[in-house]
Amino acid sequence: MFDLRHRINRILIKLSYRLGVSTLWSMPKKLAIDPTNHCDLKCPLCPTGLGDKT
């Protein structure tokens, strides 16, 4: 069941992208939650580590 949901979600992502719909029909593939935008690590791939305060 878990694998089937992922496959259906992936199909919906591709379909909504190709059709150019304004609201997605699928769940996001990834979700990143930052509890704060303050970090001293300066990781190059992290949006917080780039020094961008937005």
Residue 17 sits at φ, ψ, to 5 deg, of: -70, -45
**Which position has the higher pLDDT, 50 or 43?**
43
According to the model, what pLDDT value does residue 33 have? 80
Q: Which of 32, 31, 51, 29 is nearest to 40 (CA)?
A: 51
pLDDT of residue 8: 92
Cα 2 to Cα 40: distance, rounded to the nearest angstrom: 37
Q: Residue 50's pLDDT is what?
A: 58
Percentage of the chain lying above the pLDDT 70 cut: 76
Residue for token digits 């496959």? 7
Taking only the tens place, the pLDDT of each residue in 20-43 is 998 888 888 888 887 776 677 777
Q: Is the pLDDT of residue 19 over 90?
A: yes
